[in-house]
Amino acid sequence: MRTCHVMLLVALGTPLTACSHDPRVLQRDHMRRGDSYFAKSNYYSAIIEYRVAVQLDATSGEARKKLGSAYLRVNDSQHALQEYVRAADLLPDDLDVQLTAGRLLHLAGQFEEAKSRARMVLQKDPRNVEAVILLGSTLLGMKDVDSAIGELEDAIRLDPHQSSIYTTLGAFELSKGRTEQAEAAFRQAVELEPDAPRVHVALGYYLWAARRIPEAEAAFKRALELDPKSVLVNRLLATLLLTTNRVAAAEPYLKTLALTGPAGRFSLIDYYLASGRFKDATDVIGLFIAEGVVSVQVKLRLAAIRLSEGRMPDATTLIDEVLLEEPDNAAALLAKAQILLADNRPVDALLRVEQAAEADPKNAAVQYTLGRLYASRNEYREAIAAFNEALKINPRAVAAQEQLARLYLIAGDPRNAVHAATEALNAQSENGDLRLLLARGLLAVGESARAESEAQVLLKQYPASAAVHALMGSIYQSRDNTVEARRAFERALELDRNDREALTDLVALEVQSHHSDRALDLVEERLAKNPRDPQLLELAARARATAGDLRSAEQLLKRLIAEDSSNLSAYGMLGQLYMSQQRLEEARLEYERGLAENPNSIALQTIVAMILEAQNKTDEAQRRYERILEMDSGAVVASNNLAWIYVERSQKLDFALQLAQRAKQRLPADPRVNDTLGWIYFKKNLTGQAIPLLEEGVKGDSTNALHLHHLGMAYYQAGDWVKARQTLERALKLTTWFPGIEDARRVLAITGT
């Protein structure tokens, strides 16, 4: 008696029994069941049946084709790609399979393989329009239009008030030497099927990516003539106009989109909101309300309108209703953060945005907002991480690139600033602010010639820009051309007397040129009108000290510290003044009297601690810093200085590291902070992490022998004896003594042999 064979498909969880030995019969049964499920839109069950069919006959191109089609219906493009490529190999004469495989390869960025599929189809059918379009797209290295437009729309939402957010599709790199062939393919498609909207869309898409905006617009308009109600073409034209700063011209296309359904209406509402046309936005929202639709999305838009009108309670009520219904709604959490910011509650706002990031980590708008909030708190490392995350999610978010370029410059990382500004300019070549950031970054990395080239472009475009003339002044100053530098800075101040960059650089120039009287005149005229301005107070104090008026400099520094208790530079200057006049004890007693009246003053407590440290009363200074941090854990000067005491005493290195990292977050470019953190890493034998920070410390203050000593010792520990010797020799040339000088001499003796 013959028995049935039983097959158990463990991976699929589907037991199979059959009494036939012929696998072809089994396969046909599973194909038939798969077809039945597919016809009923039960795609997951169809996938199971088709997979069994493929296992029974791996060479069945038809089974793989159907399996790939089912995967596509459930948006599993990765498995669909695998099956369609195999099916295309097995069914070389099935042009639809070849084209589908080509499109999936194209979307996966496998352009060479996609191009081969397109050419295979064209060999068999030279007039196949879909193959021609696919060939052109692969030659250009472009992916699908719909995703590209979606990313552009998101980029606009990040910063709707920025002009010319994108003038091209930006993220695509035109394949060198193939652009003419690509254009020829798209134009061939138009010749083959001139009345098909999709061929004009494809041509317009290419022209947009090639920065030929008027021609792209004309191609899209031709597509719209052929299909006036096309959602894609109306979206394309609206986005193209918005990204080229023709906001008003986009409205007709958005109105057409509004007739196609809720998504189109919301696009029109968002356009009105970004344009400040709140009544028009309210009117469109009224259409939803008239239909009895008061969804979460409707409430969010209404809340935005109420907030813009200053009706805070109404906006709050609407957002709270949404959050009650959907506690993790990222858009609602962002709106709540905006309300909290308007209510001057930045800490609570940040918590809401962080909650939104946790709820929806792939939301570019959330990451962008998070970056803006961190930047406002001077938490540059966190801000940079957030903006980079926004760009991972949406590479077209040029607003995030611009923020990154700015932050990298502030944080003392000009190379990354240059990279970020260059990337953004590739998409937004007419943005003067970006070009200015690029030039500043180039100057900071020592590429003066390139910086001047960018500055000359800006001068032609913006001859009356104070910022551009200030940039030219910095370029001249980097070349020690004092006469031209002064002329450029003065021209900048003629154009904008309050330009801080030009003022700061001109004051420094006058001080270096021994014209302290000119420097004082420049600053004090402005200080009289803005007596609490921290930057002006610091400039005035430096000018007074250079002029020898130490008493006035002292008073200005006290005012500065009262305005900004975290200004490490001000504390350092004040300490130097007291030491130069041998007035440390007198100053300490004066501040102690002030503390008797105001014991919770962080500024006064910090000054006393620093004086005690300068008097070598380290134990007492340590206790003071610890007390300050009990009062305010964010006191950046106390964090840095206490960390330094711990590391010098080889105590609590892990806690010292935490304190120094906290100080680095608040003052990322301060040389003393970088030196402290780097020296802690050195003490913990983490030389790879120490050296970059110590190099930043030396770069920020190249005349500080202690910083040079620390860097030299780190080079020695890393085995780079040449750099160690060069750096330590520089330290010894600056002064006859510094802490650790004997270690420096010992290393020099070793490395000199």
What HEC string does 410-447 produce? Answer: HCCCHHHHHHHHHHHHHHCCCCHHHHHHHHHHHHHCCC
β-bridge partners, 478? none
Q: Coil, strand or helix: which one is 106?
A: helix
Q: What single-letter amino acid sits at 272? A: Y
Straight-line distance from the first to the last Cα atom of the chain, in angstroms, rounded to the nearest whole number? 94
Q: What single-letter amino acid sits at 553? A: A
**DSSP letter assigned to residue 227:** -
Tokens of 87: 């099916």
Spatial separation of the C-alpha atoms in residues 217 and 209, rounded to whole Å? 12
Task: Give the relative orientation of helices 330-342 and 312-325 as an angle to the nearest 10 degrees.
Answer: 150
Spatial separation of the C-alpha atoms in residues 143 and 107, rounded to whole Å? 5
Distances (CA, A) of 383 to 386, 401, 423, 518, 659: 5, 12, 18, 39, 19
- What is the sign of the dihedral through the CA atoms of 737, 740, 741 and 742? positive
Contact, 711 vs 727, CB < 8 A? yes
Instruction: Output 69-74 pairs: Cβ under 8 A, ≥24 positions apart.
Output: 69/38, 70/34, 70/38, 70/43, 70/46, 71/47, 73/38, 73/41, 73/43, 74/43, 74/44, 74/47
Spatial separation of the C-alpha atoms in residues 595 and 598, rounded to whole Å? 5
pLDDT digits (tens, 9 = 90+) for 539-592: 888 888 877 888 888 888 888 888 877 676 777 778 778 877 888 888 888 778
The confidence score (pLDDT) of residue 499 equals 86
Tokens of 468: 């551009």
Phi, psi (5° rounding) for residue 211? 70, 25
The confidence score (pLDDT) of residue 1 equals 36
Distances (CA, A) of 729 to 38, 599, 710, 712: 79, 46, 12, 9
**Which single residue is written with the structure tokens 């509650």?**
345
pLDDT digits (tens, 9 = 90+) for 627-640: 999 998 888 889 99
Radius of gyration of the chain (CA): 33
CB half-sphere exposure, 425, CA atoms < 13 A: 17
Q: Coil, strand or helix: which one is 230?
A: coil
The confidence score (pLDDT) of residue 169 equals 44
Residues of the chain whose pLDDT is less than 50?
1-20, 161-177
Spatial separation of the C-alpha atoms in residues 615 and 637, rounded to whole Å? 18
Tokens of 429: 């070549």
pLDDT digits (tens, 9 = 90+) for 671-711: 889 999 999 999 988 998 899 999 988 887 888 899 999 99
Spatial separation of the C-alpha atoms in residues 330 and 315, rounded to whole Å? 16
Q: Which domains does the chain have, with CATH numbers?
A: 565-663 (1.25.40.10), 668-753 (1.25.40.10)
The confidence score (pLDDT) of residue 439 equals 93
Cα three-residue angle 136-137-143, rounded to 5 degrees: 175
Instruction: Output 485-494 pairs: Cβ under 8 A, ≥24 positions apart.
Output: 485/509, 486/510, 492/466, 492/467, 493/466, 493/522
**DSSP letter assigned to residue 142:** -
Spatial separation of the C-alpha atoms in residues 638 and 628, rounded to whole Å? 7
Contact, 660 vs 639, CB < 8 A? yes
Distances (CA, A) of 720 to 702, 711, 716: 20, 11, 6
Phi, psi (5° rounding) for residue 15? -75, 135
The confidence score (pLDDT) of residue 136 equals 65
The confidence score (pLDDT) of residue 628 equals 92
The confidence score (pLDDT) of residue 753 equals 55
Contact, 643 vs 678, CB < 8 A? no
Instruction: Output 478-486 pairs: Cβ under 8 A, ≥24 positions apart.
Output: 478/443, 478/448, 479/448, 482/509, 482/513, 485/509, 486/510
